[in-house]
Amino acid sequence: MRLLALCAGALMLAGCAEISLSGLSGDAPPAKPKTILVSDFVFSPEVGAVDRGYTAKLDRKIGPYPTFERKQRTLERVNDEIIASIVVALREAGLEAQTGAEDSLTLKDDALLVSGKLRAADANAKPLTVGFGTGRGGVVADMALSSLASRGKRALISFSAEVGRQPGATPPARNVAIMAVATAAGSPAERLSPDVETPARSLGRAIAEKVIAYARDNGWIEKPAEPEPKSAKPQAKKKPAAAPKPDAAAEPKD
């Protein structure tokens, strides 16, 4: 993918808000788009990525490259991993999704645009501790959803997402799908190290879940069926107490 902007001011996002049916514009809920386009992230300067295993793989494949390029190349690969995780999760939910930039669309495309910026969760975080890799973390994604249709571009909602609970092993089919999306966007086929790949995918899935929730609220996909309430177990009937035996002393004598 394209070189990523590292300036926090390169993307202006609205203030964060929880997802709701009405979104931010106050207009009627948008119709289901033909496609959902997930664009490159903007990385705030404090967000870094260190993956020596990944850069070593690239060294063996294409030869050593300048040290100052390592951060940028790793950030680009992390960017692609997050985006691919979002796209695959949306497709699994039944939504048409792809990677790409807004400038590749026209008003006739009828698309939902997903864009975001990665920043530190703690503004006072220590240097070199925010991002992806060993000893790094605390990344928040400020996201914005916009619609692009015949009536123009319209802001819908904004929300924030963070790396969630570390998931279990990724199913093989999902691994293949994520790598296919990433490489189709121009990313190297070499995988990131687990301490970088896992939080990147977790963040992508957390973002996708909020987009999916918005889609369900607007009727683009069916909501999961609610589990039937468990019927209360009938209380066991108590056996009637046995009648007391008559007192032998009270029995009439012959």
158 phi/psi in degrees, rounded to 5: -135, 150
Q: Which residue has the higher pLDDT, 158 or 226?
A: 158
| pLDDT reported for residue 8 | 40
Q: Write the pLDDT tens digit of every residue in 167-203.
A: 677 889 999 999 999 999 999 999 999 999 999 999 9
User: Residue 171 — φ and ψ, nearest 5°?
Assistant: -55, 140
Is the separation of the CB atoms in 42 and 134 below 8 Å?
no
pLDDT given for residue 176 in this prediction: 96
- Both tokens of residue 123? 């503004």
> pTM for the full model?
0.79
Give the Cβ contact number of residue 53 at 10 Å: 14
**Sheet of strand 139-149: strand arrangement:** 97-99, 35-43, 111-120, 139-149, 152-162
Q: What pLDDT is recorded for position 2?
A: 53
Q: Minimum mean pLDDT among 10-14, 113-117, 136-140, 147-151: which range?
A: 10-14
Domain boundaries, the chain: 8-244
Asked if 36 and 60 touch (Cβ cutoff 8 Å), the reply is no
